[in-house]
């Protein structure tokens, strides 16, 4: 038994009649005893399939109580969950499946009529299938070592290094990297979140981020459960249901992406009833921002609209979620900073010489500690690991109070004839324009300088002449000459991934083939 399974067992076995999970779709609350029953039932089904151990189970299903039950069962059983976006096309799902040595596949009912096609496209042979209680199906992969023993929950001799979750980095450029997060890393990361957010058994979390992402799995789910509290699980984020559900279920905190915070700003009217509640009846004590950079404009507007503490943080899959976070204490927030490091060791280093930078000097953020991986799976990107440090690819600096400030991604930095320019620095002043819905700064090729900055804006504003004038005016007045975009492009909708991160390489490709109109 690992520290993670021991603590999960302790929580689930204490005060078993108390509520632990809430399904908002059916407005149904589940006690710990009911969740334990579901775990035992799924273990019996896994035993019937005699999966090899350790084994990877690919899961394509949405946020639900059943998802949580499967995740916990696989953790207890020494298996690895590989959760993917349930909205992938069958061709994409098959491509993912054939890249990994799987023991089983769980597909939601939307895929079942396409299963034969999926099997053919993936080249995987399946020999058994079991229908799960909610209508999803688990399919066993053929030709794996047959295991005859029971998954003896909870008296198991698990190894701390056993992977609880397989995730791929949500890369904005290049090929995603395979990350196996083991029990030791999950436990260390979850305890860090609990401590930094002061989570307790009185807290009620809100699972609005997808469970196929590290933020959803470890920060929102496992941290909340290990804290002894309750978790409310909607099918997905809904702007119209957010505030009513905060009020109905007395939710105290949620982990959100900047896109969600932006949507809440645009739909402020949905919060009218909640905001009019007496102060003592307002349960939400903070909203946590992660998964992508939070703009000052979005943060300021949220504070103005709702007066609720917005906690900016920084994390990545390779650190099992959280790396740094702004303290919740009075005056603990620093504008523009992602807070104080929560990993055991964080330093700023030169990417080439690996020498440590001084306070205030920009360099690559490097990590080490029990929550941080020591290698990628499949022997990928070994150069990212040097002398026990993971080099994140993120550029930033630490100030005199040890607060971390992020400048940008190393691969996204615009190299204008040797001058390194951060896209974030370029983007920030343009976010003030009300005509712009979204934007991204990126590099485009230049015969003289190699690369120069360009800005792509998403807008529904019709007066393009005025828009161009405003953009050029901001550029001249807010940016240095080398930072000023040499071209402005229009996009109907910026290409983003499932976690709402802008896909720069794909947008650069659109520019190169003339898909985007230049202002």
The distance in angstroms from the start CA to the end CA of the chain is: 61
Please give the DSSP secondary-structure letter assigned to residue 453: E
**What are the two backbone dihedrals, phi and then psi, of residue 128, each rounded to the nearest 5 degrees?**
-145, 155
DSSP 355: P
Which structure tokens are listed for 196?
Answer: 């930094």
The three-state (H, E, C) secondary structure of 50-74, written as one string: CCCCCCEEEEECCCCHHHHHHHHHH
How far apart CA 497 and CA 481 sit, in angstroms, is 32
State pLDDT tens for residues 25-64: 999 999 999 999 999 999 999 999 988 776 899 999 999 9
Q: Measure the CA–CA gap between 108 and 235, rounded to whole angstroms.
A: 13
Mean pLDDT of 236-259: 96
What are the tens digits of pLDDT across the range 451-484? 999 999 999 899 999 999 999 999 999 998 999 9
Give the contacts of 351 (CB within 8 A, at least 6 positions apart): 363, 364, 391, 410
DSSP state of 210: -
For the record, the structure tokens of 82 come out as: 């590989």
In whole angstroms, what is the distance from residue 145 CA to residue 55 CA? Answer: 10
Contacts (Cβ under 8 Å, ≥6 apart) of 9: 1, 76, 154
pTM attached to this predicted model: 0.85
**What residue spans of 331-457 are helical by DSSP H?**
423-430
Query: From the DSSP assignment, how many helices (H) and strands (E) are in the chain?
Result: 15, 27
More confident residue, 151 or 94: 94
Report the pLDDT value the prediction gives residue 293, as an integer from 0 to 100.
Answer: 78
Q: What is the pLDDT of residue 487?
A: 97
Q: Is the pLDDT of residue 193 over 80?
A: yes
Exposure class string for 492-508: b at 16+ Cβ within 10 A, else e:
eebbbeebbbbbbbebb
* Domain boundary assignment for the chain: 3-180, 413-518
One of 2.40.160.20, 3.30.300.30, 3.30.40.230, 2.30.29.30 is the CATH number of 413-518, namely 3.30.300.30
SS3 of 220, please?
Answer: helix
Residue tagged 């499946």 (tokens): 97
Q: Is the pLDDT of residue 157 over 50?
A: no
What φ, ψ does residue 404 adopt, rounded to 5°?
-95, 135
Per-residue model confidence (pLDDT) at position 214: 94
Question: CATH fold of 3-180, please?
Answer: Rossmann fold (3.40.50)
Q: Which of 125-134, 165-174, 325-334, 356-365 has the highest mean pLDDT?
A: 356-365
For residue 172, is pLDDT > 70?
no
Does the structure show a pLDDT above 80 at 155? no
Q: What does the pLDDT read at residue 50?
A: 86
SS3 (DSSP) at 498: coil
pLDDT at 145: 59
């Amino acid at each position: 038994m690992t520290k993670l399974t021991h603590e999960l067992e302790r929580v689930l076995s204490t005060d078993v009649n108390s509520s632990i999970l809430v399904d908002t779709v059916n407005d149904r609350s589940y006690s710990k005893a009911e969740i334990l029953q579901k775990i035992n039932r799924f273990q019996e089904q896994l035993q019937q399939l005699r999966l090899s151990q350790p084994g990877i189970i690919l899961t394509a299903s949405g946020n639900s109580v059943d998802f949580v039950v499967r995740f916990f069962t696989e953790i207890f059983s020494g298996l690895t969950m590989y959760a993917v976006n349930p909205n992938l096309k069958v061709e994409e799902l098959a491509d993912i499946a054939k890249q990994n040595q799987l023991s089983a596949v769980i597909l939601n009912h939307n895929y079942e009529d396409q299963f034969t096609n999926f099997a053919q496209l993936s080249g995987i042979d399946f020999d058994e299938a079991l229908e799960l209680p909610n209508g999803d199906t688990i399919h066993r992969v053929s030709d794996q070592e047959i295991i005859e023993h029971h998954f003896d929950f909870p008296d198991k001799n698990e190894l701390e290094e056993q992977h609880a979750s397989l995730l791929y980095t949500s890369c904005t450029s290049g090929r995603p990297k395979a990350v196996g997060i083991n029990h030791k890393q999950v436990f260390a990361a979850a305890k860090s979140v609990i401590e930094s957010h002061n989570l307790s058994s009185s807290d009620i979390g809100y699972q609005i981020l997808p469970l196929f992402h590290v933020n959803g799995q470890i920060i929102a789910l496992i941290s909340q459960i290990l804290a002894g509290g309750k978790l409310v699980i909607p099918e997905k984020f809904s702007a119209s249901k957010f505030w009513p559900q905060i009020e109905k279920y007395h939710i105290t905190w949620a982990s959100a992406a900047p896109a969600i915070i932006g949507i809440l700003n645009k739909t402020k009217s949905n919060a009218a009833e909640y905001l009019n509640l007496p102060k003592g009846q307002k349960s939400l004590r903070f909203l946590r921002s992660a998964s992508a950079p939070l703009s000052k404009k979005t943060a300021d507007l949220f504070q103005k609209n709702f007066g609720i503490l917005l906690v900016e943080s920084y994390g990545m899959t390779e650190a099992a979620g959280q790396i740094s976070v702004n303290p919740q204490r009075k005056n603990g927030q620093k504008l523009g900073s992602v807070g104080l490091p929560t990993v055991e060791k964080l330093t700023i280093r030169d990417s080439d010489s690996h020498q440590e930078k001084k306070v205030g000097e920009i360099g690559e953020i490097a990590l080490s500690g029990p929550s941080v991986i020591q290698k990628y799976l499949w022997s990928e990107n070994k150069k990212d690991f040097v002398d026990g440090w993971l080099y994140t690819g993120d550029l930033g600096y630490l100030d005199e109070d040890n607060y971390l400030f992020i400048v940008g991604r190393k691969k996204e930095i615009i190299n204008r004839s040797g001058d390194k320019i951060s896209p974030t620095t370029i983007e920030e002043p343009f976010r003030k324009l009300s005509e712009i819905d979204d934007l991204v700064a990126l590099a485009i090729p230049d015969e003289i300088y190699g690369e120069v900055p360009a800005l792509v804006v998403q807008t529904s504003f019709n007066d393009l002449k005025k828009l161009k004038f405003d953009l050029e005016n901001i550029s001249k007045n807010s940016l240095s000459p080398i930072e000023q975009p040499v071209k402005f492009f229009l996009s109907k909708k910026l290409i983003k991934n499932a976690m709402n991160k802008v896909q720069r390489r794909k947008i650069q490709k659109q520019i190169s083939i003339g898909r985007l109109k230049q202002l």
